[in-house]
Protein backbone atom coordinates (compact mmCIF):
# COMPACT_ATOMS: atom_id res chain seq x y z
CA UNK A 1 0.00 0.00 0.00
CA UNK A 2 1.41 3.39 -0.97
CA UNK A 3 0.41 7.05 -0.83
CA UNK A 4 2.75 9.43 -2.64
CA UNK A 5 2.58 13.21 -2.15
CA UNK A 6 4.56 14.89 -4.92
CA UNK A 7 5.50 18.58 -5.00
CA UNK A 8 2.18 19.86 -3.62
CA UNK A 9 1.68 23.64 -3.64
CA UNK A 10 -1.32 25.63 -2.41
CA UNK A 11 -1.79 29.39 -2.19
CA UNK A 12 -5.09 30.82 -0.97
CA UNK A 13 -6.90 33.83 -2.43
CA UNK A 14 -5.59 36.09 0.35
CA UNK A 15 -2.03 35.41 -0.79
CA UNK A 16 -1.08 33.01 2.01
CA UNK A 17 1.09 30.17 0.70
CA UNK A 18 -0.13 27.26 2.79
CA UNK A 19 1.88 24.48 1.11
CA UNK A 20 5.23 24.88 -0.62
CA UNK A 21 6.62 21.92 -2.60
CA UNK A 22 5.51 19.25 -0.11
CA UNK A 23 6.71 15.74 -1.01
CA UNK A 24 6.83 12.47 0.96
CA UNK A 25 5.95 8.78 0.67
CA UNK A 26 3.73 6.76 2.99
CA UNK A 27 3.10 3.08 3.54
CA UNK A 28 0.89 1.19 6.00
CA UNK A 29 1.21 2.28 9.62
CA UNK A 30 0.90 5.37 11.78
CA UNK A 31 2.41 8.52 10.27
CA UNK A 32 2.66 11.68 12.38
CA UNK A 33 2.44 15.10 10.74
CA UNK A 34 3.93 17.40 13.35
CA UNK A 35 4.01 21.18 13.35
CA UNK A 36 2.90 24.30 15.23
CA UNK A 37 -0.54 25.83 14.74
CA UNK A 38 -0.74 27.48 11.33
CA UNK A 39 2.06 25.35 9.87
CA UNK A 40 -0.09 24.05 7.00
CA UNK A 41 -1.09 20.70 8.49
CA UNK A 42 -4.84 21.13 8.01
CA UNK A 43 -4.32 22.45 4.47
CA UNK A 44 -2.36 19.33 3.62
CA UNK A 45 -4.94 17.06 5.28
CA UNK A 46 -7.79 18.69 3.34
CA UNK A 47 -5.84 18.25 0.11
CA UNK A 48 -5.14 14.56 0.76
CA UNK A 49 -8.85 14.18 1.58
CA UNK A 50 -9.72 15.76 -1.85
CA UNK A 51 -11.60 18.60 -0.16
CA UNK A 52 -9.46 21.09 -2.07
CA UNK A 53 -7.30 20.95 -5.17
CA UNK A 54 -3.60 21.77 -5.06
CA UNK A 55 -2.31 24.51 -7.35
CA UNK A 56 0.56 22.27 -8.41
CA UNK A 57 1.73 18.72 -7.80
CA UNK A 58 -0.13 15.45 -7.50
CA UNK A 59 -1.08 12.81 -4.96
CA UNK A 60 -1.00 9.15 -5.96
CA UNK A 61 -2.71 6.29 -4.14
CA UNK A 62 -1.65 2.89 -5.41
CA UNK A 63 -0.13 4.68 -8.40
CA UNK A 64 -3.32 6.54 -9.40
CA UNK A 65 -3.86 10.29 -9.16
CA UNK A 66 -6.55 10.76 -6.49
CA UNK A 67 -8.03 13.78 -8.30
CA UNK A 68 -8.64 11.86 -11.54
CA UNK A 69 -11.44 9.88 -9.86
CA UNK A 70 -12.24 11.37 -6.46
CA UNK A 71 -15.34 9.23 -5.95
CA UNK A 72 -13.39 6.00 -6.37
CA UNK A 73 -10.55 7.20 -4.10
CA UNK A 74 -13.02 8.27 -1.40
CA UNK A 75 -14.24 4.68 -1.17
CA UNK A 76 -10.83 3.94 0.37
CA UNK A 77 -10.73 7.11 2.50
CA UNK A 78 -11.70 7.87 6.09
CA UNK A 79 -11.42 11.47 7.32
CA UNK A 80 -11.85 12.94 10.80
CA UNK A 81 -11.53 16.76 10.71
CA UNK A 82 -10.70 18.91 13.72
CA UNK A 83 -14.39 19.59 14.33
CA UNK A 84 -17.52 17.81 13.15
CA UNK A 85 -21.19 18.23 13.95
CA UNK A 86 -23.77 15.68 15.06
CA UNK A 87 -27.54 15.56 15.04
CA UNK A 88 -28.56 16.55 18.61
CA UNK A 89 -31.33 13.98 19.16
CA UNK A 90 -29.78 10.91 17.52
CA UNK A 91 -28.09 8.01 19.29
CA UNK A 92 -24.65 6.73 18.32
CA UNK A 93 -26.17 3.56 16.86
CA UNK A 94 -28.81 5.33 14.75
CA UNK A 95 -26.31 7.90 13.46
CA UNK A 96 -23.86 5.20 12.49
CA UNK A 97 -26.65 3.34 10.68
CA UNK A 98 -27.44 6.55 8.77
CA UNK A 99 -23.77 7.09 7.87
CA UNK A 100 -23.57 3.47 6.71
CA UNK A 101 -26.42 4.14 4.28
CA UNK A 102 -24.58 7.19 2.96
CA UNK A 103 -21.49 5.03 2.47
CA UNK A 104 -23.49 2.63 0.27
CA UNK A 105 -24.24 -0.20 2.69
CA UNK A 106 -27.82 -0.87 1.57
CA UNK A 107 -28.52 -4.13 3.40
CA UNK A 108 -29.93 -3.60 6.91
CA UNK A 109 -28.21 -6.79 8.07
CA UNK A 110 -24.84 -5.68 6.68
CA UNK A 111 -25.26 -2.24 8.26
CA UNK A 112 -25.96 -3.86 11.61
CA UNK A 113 -22.81 -5.95 11.37
CA UNK A 114 -20.71 -2.94 10.32
CA UNK A 115 -22.11 -0.71 13.08
CA UNK A 116 -21.56 -3.34 15.79
CA UNK A 117 -18.00 -3.85 14.58
CA UNK A 118 -17.00 -0.17 14.71
CA UNK A 119 -18.73 0.35 18.07
CA UNK A 120 -16.66 -2.50 19.47
CA UNK A 121 -13.41 -1.19 17.96
CA UNK A 122 -13.99 2.25 19.47
CA UNK A 123 -15.24 0.96 22.85
CA UNK A 124 -18.64 2.62 22.48
CA UNK A 125 -20.86 -0.46 22.74
CA UNK A 126 -22.06 0.44 26.22
CA UNK A 127 -23.23 3.92 25.12
CA UNK A 128 -24.60 3.02 21.69
CA UNK A 129 -28.15 4.06 22.72
CA UNK A 130 -27.06 7.46 24.08
CA UNK A 131 -27.25 10.66 22.07
CA UNK A 132 -23.89 11.62 20.59
CA UNK A 133 -24.56 15.25 21.55
CA UNK A 134 -24.20 14.20 25.22
CA UNK A 135 -20.82 12.51 24.70
CA UNK A 136 -17.62 13.84 26.25
CA UNK A 137 -14.92 15.18 23.96
CA UNK A 138 -13.02 11.90 23.94
CA UNK A 139 -16.15 9.83 23.31
CA UNK A 140 -17.14 12.12 20.45
CA UNK A 141 -13.70 11.71 18.87
CA UNK A 142 -14.01 7.94 19.16
CA UNK A 143 -17.43 8.20 17.52
CA UNK A 144 -15.72 10.13 14.71
CA UNK A 145 -13.33 7.21 14.25
CA UNK A 146 -16.28 4.79 14.30
CA UNK A 147 -18.09 6.56 11.46
CA UNK A 148 -15.01 6.76 9.26
CA UNK A 149 -14.31 3.02 9.77
CA UNK A 150 -17.71 1.96 8.40
CA UNK A 151 -16.41 1.60 4.83
CA UNK A 152 -13.17 -0.12 5.98
CA UNK A 153 -10.92 2.64 4.58
CA UNK A 154 -7.30 2.08 3.62
CA UNK A 155 -6.29 5.74 4.03
CA UNK A 156 -7.32 7.31 7.35
CA UNK A 157 -6.76 11.01 8.10
CA UNK A 158 -7.20 12.43 11.61
CA UNK A 159 -6.60 16.16 12.08
CA UNK A 160 -5.59 17.37 15.57
CA UNK A 161 -7.76 14.70 17.24
CA UNK A 162 -6.45 14.98 20.82
CA UNK A 163 -6.69 18.77 21.17
CA UNK A 164 -8.73 19.58 24.26
CA UNK A 165 -8.96 16.00 25.57
CA UNK A 166 -8.16 15.25 29.19
CA UNK A 167 -5.34 12.71 29.83
CA UNK A 168 -7.66 9.72 30.31
CA UNK A 169 -9.70 10.50 27.16
CA UNK A 170 -6.52 11.10 25.19
CA UNK A 171 -5.13 7.70 26.24
CA UNK A 172 -8.34 5.90 25.25
CA UNK A 173 -8.43 7.67 21.90
CA UNK A 174 -4.78 6.92 21.12
CA UNK A 175 -5.37 3.26 21.94
CA UNK A 176 -8.15 3.16 19.34
CA UNK A 177 -5.85 4.68 16.71
CA UNK A 178 -3.09 2.27 17.68
CA UNK A 179 -5.39 -0.68 17.04
CA UNK A 180 -6.40 0.44 13.54
CA UNK A 181 -2.98 1.64 12.42
CA UNK A 182 -1.34 -1.69 11.59
CA UNK A 183 -2.87 -2.50 8.21
CA UNK A 184 -3.92 0.98 7.07
CA UNK A 185 -2.23 4.23 6.15
CA UNK A 186 -3.09 6.49 9.09
CA UNK A 187 -2.02 10.14 8.87
CA UNK A 188 -2.12 11.73 12.29
CA UNK A 189 -1.84 15.52 12.29
CA UNK A 190 -0.92 17.19 15.59
CA UNK A 191 1.09 19.94 17.28
CA UNK A 192 1.67 17.70 20.32
CA UNK A 193 5.02 15.94 20.23
CA UNK A 194 3.98 13.37 22.81
CA UNK A 195 1.21 12.09 20.53
CA UNK A 196 3.72 11.32 17.78
CA UNK A 197 6.25 9.85 20.21
CA UNK A 198 3.68 7.43 21.64
CA UNK A 199 1.95 6.45 18.42
CA UNK A 200 3.91 6.82 15.20
CA UNK A 201 6.64 4.80 13.48
CA UNK A 202 7.31 7.58 10.95
CA UNK A 203 6.79 11.33 10.99
CA UNK A 204 7.29 14.59 9.17
CA UNK A 205 7.77 18.10 10.53
CA UNK A 206 6.02 20.90 8.65
CA UNK A 207 6.44 24.63 9.29
CA UNK A 208 5.22 27.66 7.34
CA UNK A 209 4.01 25.38 4.58
CA UNK A 210 7.38 23.67 4.09
CA UNK A 211 8.40 20.10 4.88
CA UNK A 212 11.44 20.34 7.15
CA UNK A 213 12.09 16.64 7.74
CA UNK A 214 10.70 13.14 7.31
CA UNK A 215 12.22 10.74 9.81
CA UNK A 216 11.28 8.05 12.30
CA UNK A 217 10.90 9.28 15.91
CA UNK A 218 13.48 6.71 17.03
CA UNK A 219 16.06 7.88 14.49
CA UNK A 220 15.36 11.53 15.30
CA UNK A 221 16.09 10.90 18.96
CA UNK A 222 19.13 8.67 18.34
CA UNK A 223 20.71 11.36 16.14
CA UNK A 224 20.89 13.65 19.18
CA UNK A 225 22.70 11.25 21.49
CA UNK A 226 25.46 12.95 23.53
CA UNK A 227 24.42 16.34 22.13
CA UNK A 228 21.80 17.42 24.67
CA UNK A 229 22.75 19.19 27.89
CA UNK A 230 21.00 20.75 30.87
CA UNK A 231 22.17 23.61 33.05
CA UNK A 232 20.96 25.86 35.86
CA UNK A 233 22.93 28.81 34.45
CA UNK A 234 20.85 31.90 33.76
CA UNK A 235 20.18 33.25 30.28
CA UNK A 236 22.99 35.81 30.32
CA UNK A 237 25.58 33.23 31.38
CA UNK A 238 24.49 30.80 28.68
CA UNK A 239 24.76 33.47 26.01
CA UNK A 240 28.43 34.01 26.87
CA UNK A 241 29.34 30.53 25.61
CA UNK A 242 32.04 30.79 22.96
CA UNK A 243 30.84 27.70 21.09
CA UNK A 244 28.01 26.89 18.67
CA UNK A 245 24.86 25.88 20.55
CA UNK A 246 21.08 26.11 20.39
CA UNK A 247 18.93 26.70 23.45
CA UNK A 248 15.95 24.36 23.06
CA UNK A 249 13.64 24.82 26.05
CA UNK A 250 13.29 25.63 29.75
CA UNK A 251 11.65 23.75 32.61
CA UNK A 252 11.34 24.10 36.38
CA UNK A 253 12.93 21.54 38.71
CA UNK A 254 11.63 20.48 42.13
CA UNK A 255 13.32 23.51 43.74
CA UNK A 256 11.49 25.84 41.34
CA UNK A 257 14.74 26.64 39.53
CA UNK A 258 14.80 27.12 35.77
CA UNK A 259 16.66 24.33 33.96
CA UNK A 260 17.70 25.14 30.40
CA UNK A 261 18.05 22.46 27.77
CA UNK A 262 20.87 23.00 25.25
CA UNK A 263 21.93 21.39 21.97
CA UNK A 264 25.67 21.39 21.32
CA UNK A 265 27.94 19.09 19.34
CA UNK A 266 30.86 20.36 21.40
CA UNK A 267 31.70 18.88 24.81
CA UNK A 268 30.35 21.08 27.62
CA UNK A 269 31.75 20.81 31.11
CA UNK A 270 31.39 22.70 34.35
CA UNK A 271 27.77 23.68 34.90
CA UNK A 272 26.43 21.50 32.09
CA UNK A 273 25.15 17.93 32.47
CA UNK A 274 24.76 15.63 29.47
CA UNK A 275 21.24 14.12 29.37
CA UNK A 276 19.33 11.69 27.20
CA UNK A 277 17.66 13.25 24.16
CA UNK A 278 13.90 13.41 23.70
CA UNK A 279 11.78 13.75 20.59
CA UNK A 280 10.86 17.25 21.79
CA UNK A 281 14.54 18.21 21.47
CA UNK A 282 14.56 17.24 17.79
CA UNK A 283 11.33 19.13 17.18
CA UNK A 284 12.50 22.34 18.89
CA UNK A 285 15.90 22.12 17.20
CA UNK A 286 14.54 21.79 13.67
CA UNK A 287 12.05 24.62 14.22
CA UNK A 288 14.71 26.96 15.62
CA UNK A 289 17.11 26.12 12.79
CA UNK A 290 14.40 27.03 10.28
CA UNK A 291 12.93 30.05 12.03
pLDDT in tens, 217-256: 999 999 999 999 999 888 888 888 778 889 999 988 877 8
| pTM to 2 decimal places | 0.86
Distance CA 95, CA 107 (A): 16
Distances in whole angstroms, Cα of residue 224 to Cα of each of 198, 244, 262:
18, 15, 11
Distance CA 247, CA 233 (A): 12
Q: For residue 19, what pLDDT is reported?
A: 96
Quickly name the fold that domain 1-76+154-215 has: Rossmann fold (3.40.50)
Per-residue burial over 162-181, b = 16 or more CB atoms within 10 Å of its CB, e = otherwise: bbebeeebbebbbebbeebb
pLDDT in tens, 29-39: 999 999 998 89
Q: Which residues pair with residue 24 across a beta bridge?
A: 5
Q: For residue 240, what pLDDT is reported?
A: 81
DSSP letter at 76? T
Cα torsion 65, 71, 77, 78: sign? positive
Domain residue limits, the chain: 1-76+154-215, 84-152, 226-275
Q: For residue 86, what pLDDT is reported?
A: 66
Provide the mean pLDDT of the chain: 90
Stretches in the chain below the pLDDT threshold 70: 85-86
Amino acid sequence: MNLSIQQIEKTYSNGVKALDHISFELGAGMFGLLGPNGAGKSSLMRTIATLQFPDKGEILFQGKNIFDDKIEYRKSLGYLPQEFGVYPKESAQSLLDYFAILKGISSKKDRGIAVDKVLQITNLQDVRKKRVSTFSGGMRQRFGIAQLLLNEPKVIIVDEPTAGLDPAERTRFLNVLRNIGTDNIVIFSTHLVEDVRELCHDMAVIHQGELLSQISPKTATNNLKEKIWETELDEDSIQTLQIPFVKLSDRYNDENQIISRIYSEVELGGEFERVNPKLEDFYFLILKNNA
